[in-house]
């Protein structure tokens, strides 16, 4: 598969405090640091990690909503300059976490779905309305939904509308930022199945941002694990779930509740994530890692292949 989007050494820092009327030293919050990965045509890549790990920030970088402080973004092999971004804007679309806040309550569904086409100056009004009608049917809503407003729909139906809007400009990649977390559990599987069906129909790629590893295990091809803004593991889904190589990934998997003859609660990860205002030296996970040694406190580990698994990368001095 050819590479659709590539992140190369992406870093994102936000200034915090300082300056202004009272002066003071300006500090920086590190949301992402030296992150590199690619997304292939037709692939689903998951970004997973605890809250505050930098998942949404990287999703915003890919979607063009956040300018990185360092590194480069490539689209189909080309650096993202102004000309390439013009092409990529239609090819990269986003589905947000909250279907209640993502849709303008003053616009009917037909206008909401056609809005990306109107902004890009694509097609006549009649052609845009026809495209909206086509997509309403594809996401499983009745044709009379076109003339109704967002408040008339349930949360799951609103997310279907948001997905239809993302599909309107015929994208190659959809960045889905926690698209299931605001929905009832009974609705989540329906939206998940819809996304898989649409991927096959339109040959879509997904960057799927989630904290729910059970969902990730059923949807994605590869998994990228983030911790405190750093990529700590990147592997094919089956390899990562069967034999994680980084202690943080193992801790995440052990925290998932298991249902069997004896229902087991997932283990909690010891300690708390350090502040992104002052990330620890060396391996960022070492303050919570049961296997940390002196080298972990001194040196940042490289993202290298696990022994015997060249496609399974982990940033750990003691990768297994």
DSSP result, 22-35: T----EEEEEEEEE
Q: What are the φ and ψ backbone dihedral angles of 35, each rounded to 5 degrees?
A: -95, 130
Judge whether 160 lies within some domain: no
Q: Which residue has the higher pLDDT, 284 or 264?
A: 284
Task: Look at residue 156 and tell me if it is in a domain.
Answer: no
pLDDT tens by residue, 4-37: 999 999 999 999 876 655 566 778 999 999 999 9
pLDDT on residue 258: 59
Q: How far apart are CA 15 and CA 266, in angstroms?
A: 36
- CATH code of the domain containing 239: 3.40.50.300
Check whether 263 has a pLDDT greater than 50.
Answer: no
Strand pairing partners for 224?
Answer: 47, 234
The predicted pLDDT at position 199 comes to 96
What beta strand segments (E) does the chain contain?
3-16, 27-40, 44-48, 70-75, 78-79, 92-95, 173-177, 205-210, 222-227, 230-236, 303-306, 309-315
Domain that holds residue 270: 3-19+26-103+172-315
Residue 126 resides in a domain: no
Give the integer Cα–Cα distance in Å for 44 and 264: 30
Q: Among 22-36, 104-118, 200-214, whose mean pLDDT is lowest?
A: 22-36
116 belongs to a structural domain: no
Instruction: Establish if 111 belongs to a structural domain.
Output: no
Asked if 116 and 179 touch (Cβ cutoff 8 Å), the reply is: no
To which residue do tokens 């849709």 refer?
103
- Cα-Cα-Cα-Cα dihedral sign, residues 180, 182, 186, 190: negative
Residue bearing the bigger pLDDT, 212 or 257:
212
Is residue 120 domain-resident?
Answer: no
Q: Tell me the β-bridge partners of 37.
A: 7
- pLDDT, position 261: 43
Which is it for strands 222-227 and 44-48: parallel, antiparallel or unpaired? parallel
Within a domain: 32: yes
d(CA 183, CA 160): 11
Domain contains 129? no
Q: Determine contact, residues 237/220, Cβ cutoff 8 Å.
A: yes
What helix, strand, coil percent values describe the chain, rounded to 5?
35, 25, 40
The residue ranking higher by pLDDT, 244 or 181, is: 244
Residue 83, pLDDT > 90, answer no
User: Of 120, 210, 212, 215, nearest to 171 (Cα)?
Assistant: 120
Query: Quick one: pLDDT at residue 319?
Result: 81
The Cα 146–Cα 133 span in angstroms is: 7
Number of domains, the chain: 1
């Amino acid at each position: 598969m050819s590479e659709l989007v590539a992140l190369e050494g992406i870093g994102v820092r936000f200034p915090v405090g300082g300056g202004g009327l009272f002066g003071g030293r300006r500090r920086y919050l590190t949301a992402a640091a030296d992150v590199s990965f690619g997304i292939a045509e037709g692939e689903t890549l998951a970004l997973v990690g605890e809250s505050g790990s930098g998942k949404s920030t990287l999703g915003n970088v890919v979607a063009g909503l956040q300018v990185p402080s360092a590194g480069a973004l490539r689209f189909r092999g080309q650096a993202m300059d102004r000309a390439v971004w013009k092409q990529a804007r239609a090819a990269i679309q986003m589905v947000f976490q909250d279907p209640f806040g993502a849709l303008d309550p003053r616009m009917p569904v037909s206008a909401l779905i056609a809005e990306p086409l109107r902004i890009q100056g694509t097609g006549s009004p009649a052609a845009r309305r026809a495209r909206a009608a086509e997509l309403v049917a594809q996401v499983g809503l009745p044709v009379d939904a076109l003339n109704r407003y967002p408040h008339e729909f349930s949360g799951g139906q609103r997310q279907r509308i948001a997905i239809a809007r993302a599909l309107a400009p015929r994208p190659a990649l959809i960045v889905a930022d926690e698209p299931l977390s605001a929905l009832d559990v009974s609705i989540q599987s329906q939206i998940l199945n819809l996304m898989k069906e649409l991927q096959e129909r339109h040959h879509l790629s997904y960057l799927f941002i989630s904290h729910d590893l059970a969902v990730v295990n059923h949807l994605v091809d590869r998994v990228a694990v983030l911790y405190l803004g750093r990529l700590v593991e990147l592997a094919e889904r089956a390899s990562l779930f069967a034999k994680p190589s980084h202690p943080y990934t193992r801790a995440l998997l052990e925290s998932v509740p298991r249902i069997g003859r004896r229902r087991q609660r997932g283990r909690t990860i010891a300690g708390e994530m350090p502040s992104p205002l002052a990330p620890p030296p060396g391996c960022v996970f070492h303050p919570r890692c049961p296997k940390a040694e002196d080298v972990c406190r001194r040196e940042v580990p490289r993202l290298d292949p696990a022994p015997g698994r060249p496609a399974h990368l982990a940033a750990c001095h003691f990768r297994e």
